[in-house]
Structure 1
């Protein structure tokens, strides 16, 4: 192996680790619109950069950007925008127009805009260009599957385009079988929902309801108490917030590695089902707020990092670490020194040690100051700060 190959391999490993770290933090976010985790794709571009996509909502993409410290638009949402007008493209064989035209008219009467070639393509228009415009702007792709249409090469080309839009998340694919047995459709279409369509009021109402997103689910009952106690719209899963609350409330000094708990202890203390405990812990590990050590044949040990207190104290304690960090930064500037011990510093600010540690963690996490740590226990974390121009810049930004 040449030296160039060796160093290129090291670079690839470092780049892959960075991508894994990005994905771990992004995957810990829940979609504020659905309350569920959405898939996130971190794809490398050579060994120089990466692109991030998600099939979650645009609000989820913005939340991921915030979690990762990225600019707006750097995380690409593949789903249609929430306010995008519904436009249905109808693919069909010419011989089936006696079915397609009343279908399109029925959807229009139910408030759904339809791209139907007879209405959209005029004299002198390019057939292909017009169809590409319709395919490019549609939110729902419908193909009428009949004995005639499945034999048409043009219709199959449209199906390919509709399936590609569905894969990319820009349009929903709906195959409607009319007097066609399921066994007659292609193997690939059998993997998608292709219901039998009847051209009557019931069939049109069902189709319109599907396009409009009318839920068929029954009404939800009451959520478990541990879910009800947390804010809807949060970018953290309910389980992650419950686990975070446990560590926040049970840490006497807000120091890293205090307290420590096993999965079993967390389950017993929070009342969460065991799978939710594990997912909540995974979310917080992915976000860089918890750490875990696995033991062969035994329960894992889990503990907080200082960033957890800077992130969640404002939710569960009587102070705001971000605001406190500003007051602490001004206090440090006023000391006019490059290095300081934090013994009893909380008293000068009128805080208890636990509150001081959260504000200090905020400054350390934001790379405003560098922590000084040693092994012996103390009321506050860290034991001291090393300060530079980053602190000055932080204070000037107020």
Structure 2
């Protein structure tokens, strides 16, 4: 889900500079001038964006605190915080101005004297809403914490996912590592994306294919944990047309109170939860990035 930016158009140059830095950190942002097109209902589109955003970035300046439109967006943020009982609004101070009452007890990213320090504080604040490499997914049973890393080892590209699932009902925790190792063909293609500065798009594309493979697999992608001893299972995702393949090795173990029962770890559900989160969080590629990505896609493997 994107981060909605509420601002006055009088501050658009500063806002675009801040948003540009967020985009370079792969943060998905929603700015009216970037999203709206001729014929759109401004009220409906903005309302949908505010309601669907993971957070609201409130740009505070002399111009914005006087704007009736900005006041309405701030009110919407207030109601969401009260309704959802969580932090939704993140204030950003551009210059000295009268801070709205609702925001006076909040820490803000201060851009008044030093852009770099303000940007650092802002990136820290938005990380919990926009980091596509780690998050916490909550469900009725408890929560699933996950993170991932990626790189090249012994000439092969890899993406590793680390997950810890906690179940209050079972009084147990489950630790799982999913290692995804590309073969030579897949590594060569991924490194072309990396060298073109669109490596994250290549990883996302491969992740989507992995999820599709997991959902179509004849043999269920799961592990049965019948003891505290770690269990492992391997899978191979292969594309016969290109020769690209990914070796998937899953390791999992259970910890906590032993209820005497076997526990099922559904790897497909893990993939689905992570990739759905990434799809909502990761920003859209720029036109230049999309052109680079398509150009590589059009070349032979």
Report the TM-score when normalising by structure 2. Answer: 0.41
Report the TM-score when normalising by structure 1. Answer: 0.32
- Which structure has the highest strand share of the two? 2
